[in-house]
């Protein structure tokens, strides 16, 4: 493969990762027709964990966790996937795929602000400008002309929980990436997250889960979440980050709410008001501004 063809190939993988993560909000909404958020996340993590550890085993890349890192894994897994997916899933249940995706897309903008106060990392002015502009876009999407909300207060609270836990998770992730590969970290965190969700699933969700008759729509959407969103998307993201860098790959994350909006309209018949369309545009403008002339960053968020 020539150098140019290799570059095209990597960019295709990066776009596919963003497509899968954008579609995750749509597929999750479909699964919610059958299962509760807790059951959905538990099954998604369980399948993904089996796939990722299977891949690590075949590649002979299962790493040994140092005793000092076990506490970091336990705390980071509590933040993400456990608390993050609770926030994202219930936020999605009580809002819409597009609003949820726009909310989540602000995570990379907030991380530099928190890193400035906790890790004393430099905070570019463009990051602040992009954050404020994107926040304005979120407000445009949430508030109608009559000052009513496009999402329930509960939905907004859960999405805020998702964003908050993802930001603090990224601070812990920085410490882990210095000692382990990204793929192994995600696999371990998915495993621990599955164990966190297991008692909740067995105590509160098992009877309802057993009463559902699986069909093609349910199984297909659930497998898409586990295989494409929680497994392959992370592999593609890691490969593209390694080849073209964090900044260029980070710019592509701006495509996530776009993909969500397009496929929510096509598949879910989501209604788009002028406010919502304008809000999406403003959010994406803010995301692009935040990426302008940004240096490579160590902290990454590989969220949804």
Residue 149's pLDDT band, with cuts at 50, 70 and 90, is: confident
The predicted pLDDT at position 96 comes to 92
Q: Give mean pLDDT, residues 39-64.
A: 95
Give the three-class secondary structure for 118.
Answer: helix
Average pLDDT over residues 56-60: 94
> Residue 302 falls within a domain, yes or no?
no
pLDDT higher than threshold 70 for residue 300: no
Average pLDDT over residues 83-102: 94
The domain in which residue 225 lies consists of 3-291
In angstroms, rounded to a whole number, what is the distance separating the alpha carbons of residues 145 and 274? Answer: 10
pLDDT of residue 294: 53
User: Across residues 40-61, what is the average pLDDT?
Assistant: 95
Whether 250 is covered by a domain: the verdict is yes
Assigned domain for 222 exists: yes
pLDDT at 102 over 80: yes
pLDDT, residue 296, reads 44
Residue 41: inside a domain, yes or no? yes
What average pLDDT does the structure give for the chain?
Answer: 87
pTM of the model: 0.87
Question: What DSSP character marks residue 60?
Answer: T
Average pLDDT over every residue of 184-197: 95
Is residue 118 included in any domain, yes or no?
A: yes
Mean pLDDT of the region 92-114: 87
Task: Report yes or no on 223 lying in a domain.
Answer: yes
% of the chain with per-residue pLDDT over 90 = 51
Domain assignment present for 238: yes
In the three-class reduction of DSSP (H, G, I as helix; E, B as strand; rest coil), residue 143 is classed as strand
Q: At what angle are helices 153-177 and 84-93 packed, to 10 degrees?
A: 150
**Predicted confidence band at 299 (pLDDT cuts at 50, 70, 90)?**
very low
Between 66 and 15, the more confident residue is 15
What residue spans of 32-152 are helical by DSSP H? 37-59, 67-77, 84-93, 97-104, 107-118, 125-142
pLDDT at 202 over 50: yes
Mean pLDDT, residues 134-159 taken together:
84
Average pLDDT over residues 22-50: 96
Mean pLDDT value of segment 85-100:
94
Residue 247: predicted pLDDT: 62
pLDDT at residue 24, as a whole number:
96
More confident residue, 190 or 302: 190
pLDDT at 274 over 70: yes
Q: How many domains does the chain have?
A: 1
For 215-227, what is the mean pLDDT?
A: 97
Token couple for 43? 């099954």
The mean-pLDDT minimum among 30-34, 90-94, 143-147 falls in 143-147
Highest mean pLDDT among 114-118, 177-181, 248-252, 289-293: 177-181
Nearest-5° Cα angle at 273, 267 to 274: 130
What whole-number distance in Å separates Cα of residue 99 and Cα of residue 91?
A: 9
Position 297 scores a pLDDT of: 45
Q: Which of 212, 165, 189, 256 is nearest to 45 (CA)?
A: 189
Higher pLDDT, 156 or 173: 156
Q: What percent of the chain has pLDDT over 70?
A: 93
pLDDT at 109: 78
Residue 71 located in a structural domain: yes
Max alpha carbon distance in the chain (Å)?
59
Q: CA-to-CA distance for 82 and 75, rounded, in angstroms?
A: 10
């Amino acid at each position: 493969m020539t150098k140019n063809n290799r570059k095209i190939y990597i960019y295709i993988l990066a776009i596919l990762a963003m497509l899968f993560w954008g579609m995750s909000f749509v597929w999750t909404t479909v699964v919610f027709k059958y299962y509760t958020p807790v059951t959905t996340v538990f099954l998604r993590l369980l399948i993904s964990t089996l796939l990722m550890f299977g891949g690590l085993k075949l590649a002979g890349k299962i790493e040994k966790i140092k005793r000092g890192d076990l506490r970091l894994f336990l705390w980071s897994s509590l933040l993400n996937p456990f608390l993050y997916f609770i926030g994202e899933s219930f936020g999605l249940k009580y809002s819409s795929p597009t609003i949820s995706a726009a909310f989540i897309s602000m995570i990379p903008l907030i991380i530099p602000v928190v890193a400035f106060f906790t890790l004393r990392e430099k905070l570019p002015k463009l990051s602040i400008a992009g954050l404020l502009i994107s926040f304005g876009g979120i407000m445009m999407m949430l508030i109608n002309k009559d000052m009513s909300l496009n999402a329930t207060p509960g939905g907004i609270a859960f999405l805020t929980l998702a964003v908050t836990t993802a930001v603090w998770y990224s601070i812990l992730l920085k410490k882990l990436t210095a000692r382990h590969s990204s793929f192994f970290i995600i696999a371990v965190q998915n495993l621990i997250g599955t164990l966190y969700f297991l008692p909740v699933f067995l105590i509160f969700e098992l009877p309802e889960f057993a009463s559902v008759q699986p069909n093609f729509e349910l199984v297909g959407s659930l497998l898409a979440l586990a295989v494409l969103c929680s497994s392959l998307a992370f592999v593609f993201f890691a490969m593209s980050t390694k080849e073209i860098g964090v900044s260029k790959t980070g710019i592509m994350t701006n495509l996530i709410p776009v993909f969500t909006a397009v496929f929510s309209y096509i598949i879910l018949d989501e209604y788009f008001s002028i406010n919502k369309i304008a809000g999406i545009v403003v959010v994406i403008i803010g995301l692009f501004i935040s990426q302008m002339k940004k240096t490579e960053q160590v902290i990454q968020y590989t969220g949804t």
